[in-house]
Chains A and B, each alone.
Chain A
Amino acid sequence: GNSVTQMEGPVTLSEEAFLTINCTYTATGYPSLFWYVQYPGEGLQLLLKATKADDKGSNKGFEATYRKETTSFHLEKGSVQVSDSAVYFCALRGGNQFYFGTGTSLTVIP
């Protein structure tokens, strides 16, 4: 079946540090992969996506590359800001259904 496993948090980083949040998936076929972000008190917002192997999604300085050989879609950012503090969800679309990871809470301190 389809599932997503992502790195457990919480993660605390200093401003300008490098961020990696790991995400691996199990799926039949070739799913689309997503990262969503949820800021405090808000709903989920699409951060980036990739629809096929070796695609790189990017937005707001965040990047993730669809790696079929390792079934991974790790989220990275070279220099985090306090405003990046949020919960990040990895997700995949298999057929008509979406599968979400458990979320990783990130806190960036000045």
Chain B
Amino acid sequence: SAVISQKPSRDICQRGTSLTIQCQVDSQVTMMFWYRQQPGQSLTLIATANQGSEATYESGFVIDKFPISRPNLTFSTLTVSNMSPEDSSIYLCSVAVDSPTDTQYFGPGTRLTVL
């Protein structure tokens, strides 16, 4: 298994500002993911954070809006840039443990409100 922490746990931000969310894992993992969960909705994958290379973004998400860093195998950041109220959501970091359980584990999430 993997234990994942996220900072901040929640924040209230003003329109037009940016917020960086940190994700820390207690072990080295190859695959880290960032998801968005809007109120009452399921999870939407934003991007896969790759160590040592650019993140891979899903359709509808771009690097300028959601820049991601992955400096090592235990840490990643997601920045939500130039925020608008539509960015209000829960942002979840997750990791995939490939062996032997082939399972994805999630952080507690960051609850973002944009005014």
Question: A interface vs B, CB < 8 Å?
Answer: 32, 34, 36, 42-46, 49, 51, 89, 91, 93, 96-98, 100-103
**B42→A44 contact, CB < 8 A:** no
Quick check: which of B13-21, B72-80, B104-112 contacts chain A, the rest being far away?
B104-112
Quick check: which of B62-70, B81-89, B95-103 contacts chain A, the rest being far away?
B95-103
Measured between C-beta atoms, what is the minimum distance from A6 to chain B in Å?
A: 9
Nearest first, the 3 closest Cβ-Cβ pairs linking A and B are: A44-B106, A43-B108, A43-B109
Q: Report if B55 contacts A (CB, 8 A).
A: no
A-B Cβ contacts below 8 A, count:
45
**A43→B103 contact, CB < 8 A:** no
B interface size (C-beta, 8 A):
19
Q: List 17 A-B contacts (CB under 8 A).
A: A32-B103, A34-B103, A43-B92, A43-B106, A44-B94, A44-B106, A46-B103, A49-B101, A51-B102, A93-B96, A93-B102, A96-B31, A96-B48, A98-B33, A98-B96, A102-B41, A103-B41
Write out the residue numbers on chain A whose beta carbons fall within 8 Å of the beta carbon of B109.
42-43
With A42-B109, A43-B108 as contacts: A101 and B103 at CB distance below 8 Å:
no
* Chain A, Cβ-Cβ closest to B111: A41
Judged by DSSP, the binding face of B is strand
* Chain B, Cβ-Cβ closest to A98: B104
Measured between C-beta atoms, what is the minimum distance from A92 to chain B in Å?
A: 11
**B102→A32 contact, CB < 8 A:** yes
**A49→B103 contact, CB < 8 A:** yes
Measured between C-beta atoms, what is the minimum distance from A30 to chain B in Å?
A: 11
Contact of A43 among B33, B45, B107 (CB under 8 A): B107
